[in-house]
Amino acid sequence: MSYIAILRRAVRIMMHQPSPWALALVPALLAVGGLALAGAQAGASVVLRALLSQLPMRPATGGAWAVLSFLVILIGLLWGVLALLGSYCAQAGLIAMIAEAAGAGQAHLHTGLRWGQRRGLSLLLIALLVIVPILLATVALSVALSPPAAPLLFLMAFSRAGHSWLPACLLVLSLRIALGLALLTISITAGILLEIAYRRCVLAGEGALTSIRSACWLLRAHWRACFGTWLSLLAVSLALIVIGAPLGLAGLVCAAALAALVAALLPPLAALIVVSVPGLLLASAILAILTAAHIFFHSTVWTLAYRQLTIER
């Protein structure tokens, strides 16, 4: 498998196929919208408290704040459910559109909408079937090797055997390091397994459990190509971080200088509103575009790699 060729072809698809951008923007906007909603709620709370503090007689607001907090939590939960469902539906449609662009040469939006509606819940079920057991095992092992539990258990065992406490502490430390390495390996393998299972579900029309079994077989048969694809994406991500870090730092410096200038010219409350609202909108737009580009590129690379392992082999 030529990883450079896959990366180049993924870039070409991103540049010449505008339709998949619509679905790539859906999870990006949902994620950024959640962050913007949290920021707006925090900003509104600060502004309301500042306005109330300027009143000659401060009203009793304990009950109102309790109701407001409940509404904020409810809106956050509803937004989380919507973002979860919308993201997996968009991901299923994006996979179908990228496969259509790689095969027929042109992606159509109605293809993505149709397959997103059909396979979105199946992708969510696949993620739950893979991620939830790993999380439960991780929590169980973390509790077993937690600072209160593990040293106590080993110290009790060693003290009864007549040994010193130092070997017990070294054993606990070694087990924690081994646990961290094992969890890192399991998380990487599970991520690769999910990428393959998603494409088996959408492109091969398999169910959730069948897709997971097929993904396990493909990962076992082509583990070098799968981990090579993961490493190529990691290399691209690190390169973009190295290139984008100075640009992001320069943007933060300019934003801080502009905020200081506005704060010096306007009252504190007016300066907070003038700086926060446009800054939040601009930051949300930039973050949404960058997130959509990452989602589009990531999905395209894995879809092309999957096609090379199955259809084009």
List, for residues 255-264, the tens digit of each pLDDT value. Answer: 777 777 776 7
Among 23, 127, 40, smallest CA distance to 76 is for: 40
Tell me which of 145-159, 160-174, 185-199 is least confident: 145-159
Q: What is the DSSP letter of 266?
A: S
Q: Are 28 and 36 in contact (CB under 8 A)?
A: no
Beta-strand (E) ranges in 36-102? none
Instruction: Give 193 or 278, the one with higher predicted confidence.
Output: 193
- pLDDT (tens digit per residue) in 101-130: 988 788 889 989 999 989 999 999 999 999
- pLDDT (tens digit per residue) in 232-268: 999 999 998 888 888 878 877 877 777 777 767 766 6
Q: What is the mean pLDDT of residues 39-56?
A: 58
Tell me which of 20-24, 38-42, 260-264 is least confident: 38-42
Ramachandran region, residue 60 (left: φ > 0; alpha: ψ -120 to 50; beta: rest) = beta
Q: What is the DSSP letter of 59?
A: P
Q: What is the DSSP letter of 60?
A: P
Angle at 21 between CA 17 and CA 24, to 5 degrees: 135
Among 68, 116, 75, 121, smallest CA distance to 92 is for: 116
Query: Cα 224 to the chain's mean position, in Å?
Result: 25
CA distance 79 to 57: 36
Confidence class of residue 52 from pLDDT cuts 50, 70 and 90? low
Instruction: Give 69 or 177, the one with higher predicted confidence.
Output: 177
What is the average pLDDT score of the chain? Answer: 80
Residue 233, Cβ density class (10 Å: 0-12 exposed, 13-18 middle, ≥19 buried):
buried
Structure tokens at 35: 């962050």
Task: Specify the pLDDT at position 58.
Answer: 53
Task: Indicate if the pLDDT at residue 165 is higher than 80.
Answer: no
Task: Specify the pLDDT at position 279.
Answer: 73
The single residue listed with the structure tokens 């079994």 is 213
Task: Indicate if the pLDDT at residue 152 is higher than 60.
Answer: no
Query: pTM score, two decimals?
Result: 0.80
Confidence class of residue 293 from pLDDT cuts 50, 70 and 90? very high
Helix, strand or coil, per DSSP, at residue 2: coil
